[in-house]
Amino acid sequence: MGFLESSERVMERWTTNLWGFLLPAKRERGEAVAMLLRQCDDNALIVGRQRVVVRTAGHVMGAEVLGSIEYGVDVLGCPLVVVLGHDSCGAVGAACAALEDGMAPAGYVRDVVERVTPSVLAARAAGRVEPEEILAEHIRHTVDLLLDRSRVLAEKVAAGRAAVVGLCYRLADGSAQLVAARGLDAAVPTAS
């Protein structure tokens, strides 16, 4: 099974798992139940029956990505936003390499690296230098940045009508670990 297909399944399991916690209170309208901000590939917004998917390298966010997420949450009524990072992420690796070398990559890859770099620096400042620790920091950072930048989403989370979680996907076995959760008032069941 390929990465994209496998990570779709992870998404399916998690959203099914979280459904019981979130949706009775938080679902507002429409068919969309979760949004996946996922790494690597194009910035594609796919409005499916159950999920809105926004993909960027290193799950970085610019205005269009934030707009796509707000569209999913506010217009389509998605109560759950999932930031799904993965190990061996090339975008995180590129940011680490750029810091090591002191060289920014060319073209728009630089924009991706520049958006990942604060996470790498924060991890380093906290003494977290292992790749999985840096990735977890970047996922947490993305979750917090989402809520910091999107007033629409922050207000829904504050009102108890939406939640944001960050998951770390493992390529080797297709499992995912929860590394951040905002707006969940109950303990989250583990899913692998």
Residues that bind Zn ion (CB under 5 A): 39-40, 89, 91
Q: Which is nearer to Zn ion, 3 or 21 (CB)?
A: 3
Across the beta sheet with 163-169, the strand order is 45-47, 51-56, 34-39, 80-86, 163-169, 176-182
33 close to 19: Cβ distance less than 8 angstroms:
yes
**Rounded to the nearest whole angstrom, what is the least distance from the CB of residue 5 to Zn ion in the complex?**
16
Taking the CB of residue 140, how many other CB atoms lie within 10 A of it?
A: 20
Q: How many helices (H) and strands (E) does the chain have?
A: 6, 6
Give the span between the Cα atoms of 30 and 76, in whole angstroms: 6
Closest distance to Zn ion from the beta carbon of 61 (Å): 14
> For residues 89 and 168, which CB has a smaller minimum distance to Zn ion in the complex?
89
Minimum distance between the CB of residue 187 and Zn ion, rounded to whole angstroms? 29
Q: What is the CA radius of gyration of the chain?
A: 16
Closest distance to Zn ion from the beta carbon of 40 (Å): 4
Residue closer to Zn ion (CB basis): 8 or 74: 8
Closer to Zn ion by Cβ: residue 39 or 68: 39
Q: How far, CA to CA in Å, does 184 sit from each of 73, 119, 156, 189?
A: 16, 23, 12, 11
The nearer residue to Zn ion, 129 or 171, going by C-beta atoms, is 171
- Pick 40 or 75: Cβ nearer Zn ion: 40
| Shortest Å distance, C-beta 157 to Zn ion | 25
In whole angstroms, give the CA distance from residue 133 to residue 111: 22
**Residue that has been written with the tokens 């989370």 in this structure:** 157
- Residue closest to Zn ion (Cβ): 89
Yes or no: say if 140 and 180 are a contact pair by the CB < 8 Å rule.
yes
CB of 3 to Zn ion, least distance (A): 9
